Structure 1
Amino acid sequence: MRHFYPAIIVSVVALLIGVAFGYITQPSVAGALLGAESVIILALMETAESMDNAIVDARILKTMTEKWQKRYLTFGMPVAVLGMRFLFPAVIVSAIAAITPWQAITLAFKEPHHYAEIMTSAKNNISAFGGTFLLMIALSYFIDEDKEEHWLTWVEAKAARLGGVSGFSAGVTLLALLVTSFAVADLRQRCDILLWGGVGIVSYILIKEVLSWLIGDAQSTNTAMRGGFLTFCYLEFIDGSFSFDSVISAFAITNDPVIIAAGLGVGAMVVRCMTLAMLRSDTLAEFAYVEHGAFYTILILAILMLASILHDIPEWLTGSIGLVLIGGSFVASVWKNKQNAHSP
């Protein structure tokens, strides 16, 4: 429970922010309660959709020093809340509306409805980028010759053997992007989807390759520090990819950018605390298939993000799939532990 104290503190502060800004928008008790309600809904939505993120982060954090693990919670939180949940939407609005980021932030407070319209208009480009990036993460986990532990053996064992085919994950992701983009009738929109999806693929390859090169050569303390910093950046990048759909969906609940940042920030802090709790208790080693469930969830999330370019995907579906897959992998892990305990 001690790992979740920061999340409790952030939740209280976020609720107070929700009450204050709800009252500013609508000076009444109802307005204050509506602000608090929005924070709670956003926090629950972000937490439910990010359980797989916590498991993936715990896996990566195991490769970092204790110092960088602590920095992930302290320095990573402002980056997650102010960067991805507040400034990132402003940068997108700035790029689309051809205005400065400061003008975009001003627009968010003065004309929140117009700000929300501009932000949601970029949904397809964001889904293309996030979908390809997350698909690369999921495929790189399953398509790996060195992967020995399998949950759904009949699928994973065959997929693992494909790891010997160079560039297979990138090829499959590019194929999925091409199929999605050519299903879009508008030519300009199709080009935008191809561009941002391609940026997602290239970003993953560059970050992963640079990260592997630095960590692989980490013989000196200086290089290890650089590797720790890059891993930290990689974690923040993954967190951002997971939050793309949440940031877009948040505008369906409220147009207030501060309430959105506060609500999603609570979810981000809960995920970070959950990650550290799993890391300290070595949950991934104790429950062997939970990690598999998380990556299956990422795989489905990536597919749904690409599919959302063509059809509206309800938020409850994404969260439900994650809960079912991670819950199923947990039950399978418990069953395996019982079998091992009774085996001679």
Structure 2
Amino acid sequence: MILKTYGWSFGVTALGLVLAVLYDGWAGIGLVAILAVLEISLSFDNAVVNATVLRRMNEFWQKIFLSVGIIIAVFGMRLVFPLLLVGITASLSPVEAVRLALEKGDPEEPGTYGYLLNAAHPTIAAFGGMFLMMLFLNFVLGEKEHHWLGPVERLLEKVGSVEAMSTIVGGAILFVVAETFAADHAQTVLASGVLGMVVYLLVNGLGELFNVDDEDDEDASADGDGDGDGVKVPAVARRGPSEAAKVGGKAAFFLFLYLEVLDASFSFDGVIGAFAITNDAIIIAIGLGVGAMYIRSMTVHLVREGTLSQYVYLENGALWAIGALATILLISIEVEVPEVVTGLIGVAFIVAALISSIAHNRAHPEDAQLERTPQPAG
């Protein structure tokens, strides 16, 4: 089971270590290991949230997530995207951006790759922070199957009964951030934050659209008026009871797209924080890429073991951790937040939710027994 789930991660780790030795000698191995641990610690809550989406996808799309998705995650978000961002913000050609990345310049020195990437931090933090904030708000203001922080979550659920409340609250948060402690970058923060909100609403809206199409296909098939085989499932960011039915086709594609944007939002703080460990963009890409592979394997492990069903508050804890990460990203526009703080807050929420779930299972053993059926996964 371990080899089947984590085999690719072990293989990528071996490849990453070989590349590190060839590129930077034996010192590269230590740096890659540290960066991989950094990525895993910062993104463990990402694995839990990914699992809530992945379990709704059929076997084919789960395999796409593990193959094509990891290529996007490792090469796209950990290597190519930072290069593009530096090139765009500093008006550099792709060749010049790559040249700067390979120079290993000091991030404190103006004109270096690390310095330019840090200069783009307000753009990165505002986009990623507002995308994750919308995901969190959609959760806390929406209907939930289980209430972990009972009084708080029930109150917020009532507030969320107002139409488009998550968008209203998200817009208010962005305005306050841009006009107060991020005032020095107000225009950039507003533009990037709005873009993050729009991307979230677009992907979520398309997911709802094609979920509706699937529901219509299912109804037509049941009535003998069509041959559709779609199944109605919650929209990509809507939290509700877990279902055995899996989706494919267009609905699964937008679930996949949603997962990739979510991974991008989680990767931002890791990429920026990695420059506190090394200023070598290639080593950073290798180390964070190895960590990203383990996050994907953890996601599949959670699905295959039915962990989210066994530990009923784990999803709640992960979403509260995302809310904390979104807040930290927005605060980090002006105030430097140590990566250890970001990682520990996420882990604290997950551990607290896990402990609460175990206590719930002991208090309600009959419910726990019904929830121990593992979810099949590709």
Partner of 1:106: 99
Q: Give how far 1:142 is off.
A: 1.3
Under a length normalisation based on structure 1, what TM-score does the superposition of the two structures give? Answer: 0.92
> Aligned with 1:50: secondary structure?
helix
Gaps of 5+ in 2: 107-111, 218-227, 231-246, 368-378
Gaps of 5+ in 1: 24-31
| Separation in 2, partners of 1:162, 1:41 | 43
| Separation in 2, partners of 1:112, 1:83 | 22
Contact persistence 2:16–2:287 (CA under 8 A): yes
Q: Give how far 1:48 is off.
A: 0.7
Q: Deviations over 1:283-318 (max 9, x none)?
A: 000000011110010000001111111211111011
| Separation in 1, partners of 2:101, 2:11 | 27
Q: Quick check: 1:12 aligned with 2:14?
A: yes
Q: Quick check: 1:67 aligned with 2:63?
A: no
Q: Give how far 1:221 is off.
A: 6.1
Q: Deviations over 1:3-49 (max 9, x none)?
A: 112111111211222222223xxxxxxxx22x111111110010011
Contact persistence 1:183–1:310 (CA under 8 A): no
Partner of 1:179: 176
Q: Deviations over 1:91-134 (max 9, x none)?
A: 10110121222331222113544111111110111101111100
| Separation in 2, partners of 1:246, 1:152 | 29
Letter in 1 for 2:192: W
Q: Quick check: 1:320 aligned with 2:344?
A: yes
1:123 to 121, 124, 127: 121
| Separation in 2, partners of 1:136, 1:125 | 17
Letter in 1 for 2:79: F
1:169 to 166, 169, 172: 166
Partner of 2:154: 157
Partner of 1:27: none
Q: Deviations over 1:174-197 (max 9, x none)?
A: 11111111124765x211111101
Alignment length, in residue pairs?
A: 332
| Separation in 2, partners of 1:299, 1:186 | 22
> Identity rate of aligned residues, in percent?
37
Under a length normalisation based on structure 2, what TM-score does the superposition of the two structures give? Answer: 0.84
Letter in 1 for 2:213: D
Q: Which has the higher helix share?
A: 1
1:208 to 204, 209, 213: 204
2:134 to 116, 136, 158: 136
2:287 to 260, 263, 267: 263
Partner of 1:26: none
| Separation in 1, partners of 2:271, 2:212 | 35
1:239 to 258, 263, 270: 263
Contact persistence 2:133–2:323 (CA under 8 A): yes
Contact persistence 2:46–2:266 (CA under 8 A): yes
